[in-house]
Amino acid sequence: MKRNLIIAIVAILSLSSCDKGTTSPCIETKSASAIVTEFPETIKAGTIQTVEIKYILESDCGEFDHFEISQDGPAFNVEIVTKYQGCTCDLQLKERSAFFDVDVDFPGTYKFNFWLSDGDYDSRTVTVFE
């Protein structure tokens, strides 16, 4: 009886720990420093200006995932998020590009802060006209 109880407990624990809906331990997301070389000084309201943003991947398992954007009034904080998938990755620093759409609908002066490291940003200003 005691043996059956132990087997039942082990079975329940193994079933509940197999899939918790979380990602694999070999998947990691990281922020990458944005390298902005060209940025428009002015754009027309309601138009989209696509800007190339360069960043560095740390290994051959990395890829661009998405832009994380937050807004505080006329300021936009933009962070590049990369995803690394794989448990056996080779350290290979590679420069890559992602394309960011500057899309503002209302006239005014806006600031775009591109994340470099914790608390450090490359800030660019754009004037949006009618």
Which pLDDT does position 102 carry in this prediction?
96
For residue 51, name the pLDDT band (cuts at 50, 70, 90): very high
23-129 adopts what CATH topology? Immunoglobulin-like (2.60.40)
Q: What is the mean pLDDT of residues 75-89?
A: 96
Per-domain boundaries in the chain: 23-129
* Rounded-to-10 torsion of CA 48, 51, 55, 57: 60
Within the chain, strands assigned E span 27-32, 35-36, 42-44, 48-59, 62-72, 75-85, 91-103, 108-117, 120-129
Which pLDDT does position 25 carry in this prediction?
81
Q: Which of these, 93, 28, 30, 29, lies nearest to 60 by C-alpha position? A: 93
The 10s digit of each residue's pLDDT in 54-72 is 999 999 999 999 999 999 9
Q: What is the pTM of this model?
A: 0.78
The 10s digit of each residue's pLDDT in 68-79 is 999 999 999 999
Residues in the chain: 130
